[in-house]
Amino acid sequence: MSAHLPAGPALAYGAATAAYQVEGSTTADGRGASIWDTFSARPGTIVDGSDGSVACASYERLDEDLDLVAGLGVGHYRFSLAWPRIQPTGAGQVEARGLAYYDRLVDGLLARGVAPMATLYHWDLPQPLEDAGGWPVRGTAERFADYASIVHDHLGDRVKVWATLNEPWCSAYLGYAAGKHAPGRRDPAAAHRAAHHLMLGHGLAASRLHEAGSDAVGVVLNLAPVWPERPEAEGAAHGVDAILNRVWLGPLVDGSYDSALLALAPELGDPEVVRDGDLEVVHGSADWLGVNYYTPMRVDVGDDTETGGVGQDTSAYPGVDGLRFRPRPPVTAMGWEVEPRGLEELLVDVAARTGLPLVVTENGAAYADDVRAEDGSVADDDRVTYLRGHIEAVERARTAGADVRAYIAWTLLDNFEWAEGYTKTFGLVEVDKTDQTRTPKASYHWFAQLAHADFLRIKV
Ligand code: IFM
């Protein structure tokens, strides 16, 4: 068992961001183009017509942001590395200035007593790799493993906890089936092939990192409990569960894709796609599992036009006929049902299914943030209630036996929320889009109190 995962008697805390959502400076220091640069430049893809070229300007304001992390008193900071900063074309040539930025980030964290938790891929695929076919082609998985080795060779002396991918479901199914995320394709067969190559990429990268001596390599999945609204919806719920949860857990835990999934996704049974030995590469390849949870999926069938929240696009579940999502109130600004019980159930089930140590790598909420305290800061009591309820759910799951090591809040800063642009804010810290001023919200102070209390409990 890795000595590097948080393992104290109490839950450890952290905060997270992702490169494209906060860094900006998308042409600085030799960075190449990513699929998100290309996608967001296409009219109609991002609700406010924005992109990540400025975002939170974290590339330029690194120290300020690291001070905000330190001010929270958390033990861990989860960030992602932008592949196109490190390999501008996705293969071959390495850009030293890109690596130097992450040196500064990691060294800055360590100097502040915060452990880095690095995610190698949070959706910003180098555009030349998409031009060569993207995740639906096998070569992308192989290039990803090369990139993972480059990063690990450079930072592995200081970064001990690694995640390969963030939410491959979004990359595969929002990106290649629903067309709501980059690269914006609507081709279900390509999405299933992408799903396999993403997990193959994870497995190949994990092997490289293990060979190089790492013992805390994980993958981060956006899993959710899937609840049928009525008996007639059970088949559709099983289909959603296949494409959202089992397509990743099957190869990871069992070394196979199950038969109901194969019926929906015949590409996953095609020996040209899933080659001999692929599933063995993925099987057992994770030392820990990251769980990103926001909401349960309430599944129904019908012929109405009602839709669920953001990202709950029925076209992201190809082959699940008549699918409808029915989130119940209260919902967040994303239209996502607030239900901490879903997290408790999920953690208990996933811990039993995988036997792995778990980290809640993302949890948080977008709200309107329109209530102000006297000093002008955001008084986001709704976000505090959301976070508190979900942390209590994690504690209940731990009491029930789930080995959950840490809870990482999404997210440190209000940032670029993908297809929603800057219209949805999840941050503990407000970022003024005109001058980049950072102002902690009430939730930042609340979370800091919790993390500090926890820190004292462990140290005393
Ligand atoms: O902002 C995203 C993040 O990049 C991935 N998980 C979900 C978050 C909220 O939508």
DSSP string covering 348-365: HHHHHHH---EEEEE---
Give the side-chain half-sphere CA count within 13 A for 293. Answer: 32
Mutate to test the pocket of ligand 1, among 169, 336, 411 (most ligand atoms within 8 A of CB): 411
pLDDT at 298: 98
Q: pLDDT tens for residues 381-420?
A: 999 999 999 999 999 999 999 999 999 999 999 999 999 9
Q: What is the pTM of this model?
A: 0.98
Q: pLDDT tens for residues 229-284?
A: 999 999 999 999 999 999 999 999 999 999 999 999 999 999 999 999 999 999 99
Average pLDDT value for residue range 295-309: 92
Tell whether the model's pLDDT for residue 290 goes beyond 70: yes
- How far is residue 45 from each of residues 15, 41, 191, 253, measured CA to CA in Å? 28, 8, 19, 36
Confidence of residue 8 (pLDDT cuts 50, 70, 90): confident
Atom 4 (ligand 1) nearest CA: 18
Residue 449: count of CB within 10 angstroms of its CB: 12
Atom 2 (ligand 1) nearest CA: 417
Q: What percent of the chain has pLDDT over 90?
A: 95
Mutate to test the pocket of ligand 1, among 244, 383, 426, 431 (most ligand atoms within 8 A of CB): 426
**What does the domain layout of the chain look like in residue ranges?**
13-452
The rounded distance, in Å, linking the Cα atoms of 361 and 363 is: 7
Separation of CA 66 and ligand 1 centre (Å): 20
pLDDT at 460: 33
Q: pLDDT tens for residues 78-125?
A: 999 999 999 999 999 999 999 999 999 999 999 999 999 999 999 999
To the query of whether residue 234 is one of the catalytic residues in this protein, the response is no
The rounded distance, in Å, linking the Cα atoms of 35 and 127 is: 5
Pick from 23-27, 159-163, 341-345, 451-455: least confident:
451-455
Q: pLDDT tens for residues 304-328?
A: 887 799 989 999 999 999 999 999 9
For residue 310, give the ligand 1 atom closest to its CA: 10
pLDDT at 113: 97
Atom 9 (ligand 1) nearest CA: 417
Q: Which CATH number fits domain 13-452: 3.40.47.10, 3.90.1300.10, 3.90.1150.10, 3.20.20.80?
A: 3.20.20.80
Q: Are 135 and 144 in contact (CB under 8 A)?
A: no
Separation of CA 383 and ligand 1 centre (Å): 16
- Sequence-distant (6+) residues with CB within 8 A of 157 are none
What is the b/e burial string over 171-208, where b = at least 16 CB atoms within 10 angstroms of the residue's CB? Answer: bbbbbbbbbbbbbbbeebbbbbbbbbbbbbbbbbbbbb
Strands ordered across the beta sheet of 323-325: 226-228, 297-301, 323-325
Tell whether the model's pLDDT for residue 331 goes beyond 60: yes
Pick from 132-141, 219-228, 304-313, 430-439: least confident:
304-313
Q: Residues lining ligand 1, judged by CB closer than 6 Å?
A: 18, 21, 167, 292, 362, 410, 417, 426
Confidence of residue 1 (pLDDT cuts 50, 70, 90): low
Separation of CA 364 and ligand 1 centre (Å): 9
For residue 292, give the ligand 1 atom closest to its CA: 6
For residue 311, give the ligand 1 atom closest to its CA: 10
Q: What is the mean pLDDT of the chain?
A: 97
Separation of CA 36 and ligand 1 centre (Å): 14
Q: Which residue has the tokens 């030392």?
A: 287
For residue 123, give the ligand 1 atom closest to its CA: 4
Separation of CA 80 and ligand 1 centre (Å): 12
Tell whether the model's pLDDT for residue 457 goes beyond 60: no
Separation of CA 417 and ligand 1 centre (Å): 7
For residue 415, give the ligand 1 atom closest to its CA: 1
Q: Are 142 and 89 in contact (CB under 8 A)?
A: no
Q: Are 61 and 436 in contact (CB under 8 A)?
A: yes
Tell whether the model's pLDDT for residue 50 goes beyond 70: yes
pLDDT at 82: 99
Average pLDDT value for residue range 18-46: 98
To the query of whether residue 167 is one of the catalytic residues in this protein, the response is yes
Catalytic residue among 267, 339, 362, 417: 362
